[in-house]
């Protein structure tokens, strides 16, 4: 079994690293490059950068940030937000990204998933999904940083996306995001039962016991923002908590 990955998530608006609750009430945290470098030096396994207003304004402003990060950070970097074409993907990869996370454009034109995985490899194509609970065991997929409903069932959509070529899934539980109330383990279990690609959990990490719960249902990695940005825990402390619970985690 591969080890559980600890993945700092950096949501970016313009030049600033920001953080909200349920993707709303955004607060400026600081310089995304400084935080990314700190997490890399502290042992992060990967990084996720998300331009949270890119789809709204139909552009991604992360190129300079990623290019700067790639000069000093040597772990996989995933970039998301406003990526709508093969040219956008190519630009991000040339800037230093290893993977792209696509949500809104994939919902609008699912064939884009196949095009990206066919051209750059399925390992590059991360299906980003924003999930809001709409009933017992049911979640709806949202786009535009949790602003727009799609009418799509999250589990059905993820299954379709993987069938089309997505090599990884980044699932954000919008109801949990920024609340520190814990990951949506029911959602993670359901997703992992549907697909056999790596699943990254995002939204709600609060207590280190979340790591064991997520791993127990097959989750490959946990994307963490709040606990790291506000320095409630460091990457190494989170990893040690995981190892203390018997998980295979690289220190």
Is residue 250 situated within a structural domain? Answer: no
Is residue 93 situated within a structural domain? Answer: yes
Can you give the residue range of the structural domain that contains 141?
5-244
What is d(CA 134, CA 64) in angstroms, rounded to the nearest whole number?
Answer: 38
The total domain count for the chain is 1
Is residue 81 situated within a structural domain? Answer: yes
Burial 89-114 (b: 16+ CB within 10 A, else e): bebbbebbbbbbbbbbbbbeebebbb
What is d(CA 109, CA 118) in angstroms, rounded to the nearest whole number?
Answer: 15
CATH number of 194's domain: 3.20.20.70
Is residue 107 situated within a structural domain? Answer: yes
List pLDDT tens digits, range 198-242: 999 999 998 899 999 999 999 999 999 999 998 999 999 999 999
List pLDDT tens digits, range 65-122: 999 999 999 999 999 998 999 999 999 999 999 999 999 999 999 999 999 999 999 9
Is residue 124 situated within a structural domain? Answer: yes
Distance of CA 235 to the CA centre of its chain: 16
Active site residues: 11, 130
What is d(CA 46, CA 96) in angstroms, rounded to the nearest whole number?
Answer: 13
Is residue 234 situated within a structural domain? Answer: yes
């Amino acid at each position: 079994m591969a080890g559980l990955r600890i993945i700092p998530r950096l949501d970016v608006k313009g030049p600033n690293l920001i953080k909200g609750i349920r993707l709303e009430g955004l607060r400026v945290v600081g310089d995304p490059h400084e935080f990314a470098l700190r997490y890399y030096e502290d042992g992060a396994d990967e990084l996720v950068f998300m331009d949270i207003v890119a789809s709204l304004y139909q552009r991604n402003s992360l190129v300079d940030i990623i290019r700067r990060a790639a000069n000093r950070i040597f772990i996989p970097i995933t970039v998301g937000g406003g990526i709508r074409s093969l040219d956008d993907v190519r630009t991000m990869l040339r800037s230093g990204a290893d993977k792209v996370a696509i949500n809104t454009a994939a919902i609008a034109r699912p064939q884009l998933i196949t095009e990206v995985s066919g051209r750059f490899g399925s390992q590059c194509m991360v299906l980003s999904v924003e999930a809001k609970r709409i009933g017992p065991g049911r979640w709806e997929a949202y786009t535009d940083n949790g602003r727009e409903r799609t009418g799509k069932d999250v589990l059905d959509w993820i299954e379709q996306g993987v069938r089309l070529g997505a090599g990884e899934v980044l699932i954000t539980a919008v109801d949990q995001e920024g609340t520190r109330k814990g990951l949506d383990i029911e959602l993670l279990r359901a997703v992992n039962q549907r697909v056999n690609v790596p699943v990254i959990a995002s939204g709600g990490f609060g207590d280190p016991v979340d790591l064991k719960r997520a791993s127990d249902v097959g989750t490959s990695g946990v994307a963490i923002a709040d606990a790291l940005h506000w320095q409630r825990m460091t990457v190494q402390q989170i990893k040690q908590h995981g190892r203390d619970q018997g998980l295979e985690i690289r220190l």
